[in-house]
Amino acid sequence: MDSQTLRDYQAPIDALSGRVILVTGAGDGIGKALSLALACHGATVVLLGRTLRKLEKVHDEIVASGGPAPALAPLNLETAPAGEYDALVDSLQREYGRLDGLVHNAAILGTRAPVELYDVATFGRVLHVNLTAAFALTHVCLPLLKASSDASVVFTSSGVGRKGRAYWGAYAVSKFGIEGLSQVLADELENDGQVRVNCLNPGAVRTALRAQAYPGENRDRLPLPETIVAPYLFLLGRAGRGVTGGSFDCQPPICTTP
């Protein structure tokens, strides 16, 4: 399986029908675009994010478009204690009894600075939100994922999570960690056959995080989030059965900067 196959995928309208998929960072950017696309193709989406107002807006857009009613899961990945993760899983267990998909999309940039000058507290904050919280959420959701006959976990990576670049600091390190976590989990679950695990690098996309990283960039030249969701739909749907342990690009290599 290669990245081009995923990029060329055209999802049938019922490609995600009946599937329950949790998306982090669902209030805007790629998370919002993906949530809308998943619902459009029949999935019941669990919208997780820190800002309830944004999640409610996405919820209303999905309902207005005729998609399955999504669930709201307000959770601040920076500050949430273990009990809030447990409460989320308990709620999902009662409502659905399983998860068919888990998308780790939420992330923060931190600062772009040389390691010598990087603030230690900021480094820890970025690692927690981008990596530790992804581990914690996956950890508590694994029983729900294993309750599905065909579950998919998709981690969102970055070009600087594969080859380190100067001044990307904690963000790059967190994405290297995401790639490693994905590989470890895929290897652990490979023989079970129920849960597949992969990484996707969205590339340069018109998002708030991208604007923060490149404030002088002409955003109009960047693709919109909704134009790069095909690989996510492939991996999260039945088309992606048997694909695990991979790391793919949503855009051609020339565009894979974070």
Provide the b/e sequence for 96-107 (b: ≥16 CB within 10 Å). Answer: bebbbbbbbbbb
pLDDT of residue 1: 85
82 in any annotated domain: yes
Q: Which of 95, 104, 123 is nearest to 185 (CA)?
A: 104
**Which neighbouring-strand residues pair with 101?**
21, 152
Please tell me the distance from the alpha carbon of residue 11 to that of residue 31, in angstroms, as a whole number: 18
Confidence band, pLDDT 50/70/90 cuts, at residue 254: low
13 in any annotated domain: no
Res. 76: pLDDT tops 50: yes
pLDDT of residue 257: 44
Res. 173: pLDDT tops 90: yes
Are the C-beta atoms of 190 and 140 separated by less than 8 Å? no
Of 167, 171, 214, 232, which is the active-site residue? 171
258 in any annotated domain: no
Using one digit for the tens of pLDDT, what is the confidence trace for 27-64?
A: 999 999 999 999 999 999 999 999 999 999 999 999 99
Confidence band, pLDDT 50/70/90 cuts, at residue 253: confident
Considering the chain, what percentage of its residues have pLDDT values greater than 90?
96
Mean pLDDT over residues 71-86, rounded? 97
Are the C-beta atoms of 87 and 62 separated by less than 8 Å? no
Res. 258: pLDDT tops 90: no
pLDDT of residue 136: 98
Res. 102: pLDDT tops 90: yes
Are the C-beta atoms of 144 and 99 separated by less than 8 Å? yes
Tokens representing 179 are 């790639």
Tokens representing 76 are 């601040």
DSSP letters spanning 184-249: HHHHHHTTT-SEEEEEEE--S-SSHHHHHH-TTS-GGGSPPGGGG-HHHHHHHSGGGTT--S-EEE
Please tell me the distance from the alpha carbon of residue 72 to that of residue 51, in angstroms, as a whole number: 10
**Structure pTM?**
0.95
pLDDT of residue 255: 42
Q: Which of 219, 209, 251 is nearest to 232 (CA)?
A: 251
Q: Which residue range(s) make up the domain with 118?
A: 3-8+20-253
119 in any annotated domain: yes
Residues in Cβ contact with 6 at an 8 Å cutoff, skipping those fewer than 6 apart:
230, 231, 234, 235, 248, 250
Confidence band, pLDDT 50/70/90 cuts, at residue 129: very high
Give yes or no: 96 in active site. no
Using one digit for the tens of pLDDT, what is the confidence trace for 106-128?
A: 999 999 999 999 999 999 999 99
- The DSSP H or E segment spanning 45 is strand 44-49
Confidence band, pLDDT 50/70/90 cuts, at residue 256: very low
Res. 16: pLDDT tops 50: yes
15 in any annotated domain: no
Mean pLDDT over residues 76-87, rounded? 97
Q: What is the mean pLDDT of the chain?
A: 95
Mean pLDDT over residues 58-74, rounded? 97
38 in any annotated domain: yes
The structural domain count of the chain equals 1
CATH number at residue 142: 3.40.50.720
137 in any annotated domain: yes
Q: Which of 150, 155, 157, 156 is nearest to 240 (CA)?
A: 150
100 in any annotated domain: yes
